Amino acid sequence: MGQGTAAVMCPCTICIARKKEFASYLTAPPNEQAPNREGDLANPNVYEAFIADAKGLVEWVRLNSAGRARALKLKYHSVVHEPLLYTMPELNSCSGMHVSSGLLTHCTLKVLEYLGELDKSTPWLMELTDMVEEAKQYVRTATDSTEKLRKTDAKIARDIKAAASMAPMMVEQLQAERETISSKLRAETKARDAAKLFIEKGSEFLGGVAKKTKSRIVGPATYCFRKAYEVDGRVGFRVENSGFELSNGDGIRVLERREKIVDRMKRVFDDNLPMQQAVDKMMDTYLKLASLLYWMSVTMKSQRKWSLEQCEEFESTAREYAKLWLSFAGGDNEDPAIFNKLHVLVTHIPQFVRTNGMLGRCSEEGFESSHKCIEKVRDPLKCMTSTEDRAHTIYRRIMLQSRPEIERTFESINERFSQKKRGSYNKDPTKMKTADSAPAGGDVVDSLSLPDGFIQSINGYVIKASWKDHFEFVCFSKVPSSWSTVFREDNRLGDGCRLRTEYL
């Protein structure tokens, strides 16, 4: 990398330009102290070199952060930058692992986004979005049929009344026909009521998930990828940020088990060859990115001094990763977060190693995250600390209540709010309470005699038998058995782990 002509190390133009204060750096009046400038920019010679290198970015940096990223890309054409200025002052020894975990997070989210697009076209989710309309259509059909039966029953009743005086022999025949119509009417009414009960209760869940699937898809491919991270990588999916915690040791553990994750994904759509080919293509790219990132992460955490050959190998690997990522992400290469991480990875980490000789031993997080003994006891020690704090808090509260003035206050409060003693129980009641309304679950459904093709769910809703898997997915987050086949057939997993894979 090129070293600047300035006598001191100066900040990188790209790293300064991504800041919100970049415009103020360019427009600030020059003075000897330069109180509104940071670090080495206070040096007039350095500041003049910085202005010369940053010329042409003044208009672009007035845009938002994405605009600044596009400006930097247009000026330097790539994340690889050999500036007039030498190094980035805020680059510390921990930045390597932060960049590594950040790139893994972006890669994971990109894969989940692609798999979500594939899941949109799966028949299972397409059926899910059509269920509410189908249930409403069933109710409309049942209502029309019962209306026709009621009209027929009323017509037969009029015929019986007319035949009683004119043709007594026809009365028995008409009464038998009316009995048949009445039995059909009762059956159709029960079926309609059962479907109506489903519409009022069950469709609320199905309708809600149908709206959610438009923005966030959870299908076979997305589910399998997430569960592979949890089962094989041993990291939990965090709903609050819609992603995984992949910092430090967690990220390296996921990268280390990348081949197991890819192997599971290659069996998601065994019965759908085009879909499986699309997943395989994505997983091949993911495997290449993960392999490069794993090597760089382990190298950055290394406790050994780097040789010149290792530094050059790291730099070439970082450039290869950046090139592969930019072709993989498409239009997302203008994202400022991605751009900045790739820039630090390709440009500043090799510079840092050339200056200091190593990266991992200088890092305050590198040793404890990679040392096996420390990593083994670190989490239990965190739990012990929180437990001790909680015990001290409880002890302080108990001791506070033992003070005489506090005891007198509590006694006065208890006397003030104490009530009269309860009277004797009424053992011979003359009145019985009755329920104001019948429950929406089992008792009502049992009295309806469910029609053919309908079942009662565990929470009392009436649904079609063919909708059982979808309904359990919506209500209880239980995935269909076909989704969890790749985990259920793995003999290496325990019973508890297999049970977790049956739910989202």
pTM: 0.61
Closest by alpha carbon to 290, among 490, 18, 106, 17? Answer: 106
- Angle, alpha carbons 275-278-283 (nearest 5°): 125
pLDDT attached to residue 356 = 72
- CA distances 464 to 143, 145, 425, 440, Å, are 18, 19, 48, 17
pLDDT attached to residue 117 = 83
Burial class (CB in 10 A: 0-12, 13-18, 19+), 64: exposed
Measured distance CA(218)–CA(226) in Å, rounded: 10
3-state helix, strand, coil in the chain (%, to 5): 70, 0, 30
> What are the residues facing 462 on neighbouring strands?
456
pLDDT attached to residue 2 = 35
* Beta carbons within 8 Å of 169's beta carbon, 6+ residues apart: none
What's the chain's length in residues? 504
pLDDT attached to residue 272 = 83
Q: Where are the domains of the chain?
A: 13-76, 95-120+219-364, 372-400
Closest by alpha carbon to 474, among 216, 112, 198, 202? Answer: 202
Runs of H (alpha helix) within 216-302 = 220-231, 249-256, 258-265, 273-300
Reading the chain (504 residues) residue by residue, the pLDDT tens digits are 333 333 334 456 566 655 555 555 555 545 444 444 445 555 555 555 555 545 444 444 444 344 444 544 444 444 444 433 333 434 444 566 678 888 888 888 888 888 888 887 777 766 766 665 666 566 556 555 556 666 777 777 777 666 666 566 676 777 777 777 777 766 666 666 655 655 555 555 555 555 554 455 578 888 889 888 888 888 877 655 556 777 767 788 888 888 989 998 988 888 888 888 989 999 999 999 999 999 988 888 776 778 888 888 988 898 888 888 878 876 554 566 677 777 778 877 887 777 777 665 554 444 444 455 655 666 667 667 667 777 888 888 777 777 787 778 877 777 776 665 656 666 665 555 444 444 444 444 444 456 667 777 766 666 677 777 777 777 777 888 888 888 888 878 877 788 888 887
Measured distance CA(470)–CA(476) in Å, rounded: 10
pLDDT attached to residue 157 = 72
What count of Cα atoms within 13 Å lies in the side-chain half-sphere of residue 209?
24
Paired tokens of 150: 């009621």
What count of Cα atoms within 13 Å lies in the side-chain half-sphere of residue 123?
4
Cβ-based neighbour number of residue 367 at 10 Å: 14
**Under a CB-based contact definition with an 8 Å cutoff, are residues 224 and 265 in contact?**
yes
Question: What are phi and psi for residue 498, nearest 5 degrees?
Answer: -65, -40
pLDDT attached to residue 289 = 92
Closest by alpha carbon to 278, among 122, 118, 119, 113? Answer: 118
pLDDT attached to residue 473 = 76
Number of continuous H segments (helices) and E segments (strands) in the chain: 21, 4
**Under a CB-based contact definition with an 8 Å cutoff, are residues 321 and 356 in contact?**
no
CA 279, 285, 286, 287 dihedral sign is: positive
Kindly state the helix (H) or strand (E) to which residue 86 belongs, with its residue range.
none
What single DSSP character describes residue 163?
A: H
Three-state DSSP at 46 gives: helix
- CA distances 166 to 25, 156, 173, 177, 450, Å, are 108, 15, 14, 18, 42
Measured distance CA(14)–CA(11) in Å, rounded: 9
Paired tokens of 148: 């026709």
Cβ-based neighbour number of residue 197 at 10 Å: 21
* Beta carbons within 8 Å of 497's beta carbon, 6+ residues apart: 231, 487
Burial class (CB in 10 A: 0-12, 13-18, 19+), 254: buried
Measured distance CA(405)–CA(118) in Å, rounded: 68
Q: What is the dihedral of CA 182, 188, 189, 191, to 10 degrees?
A: 150
Paired tokens of 105: 């997070």
Closest by alpha carbon to 351, among 5, 6, 12? Answer: 12
pLDDT attached to residue 65 = 45
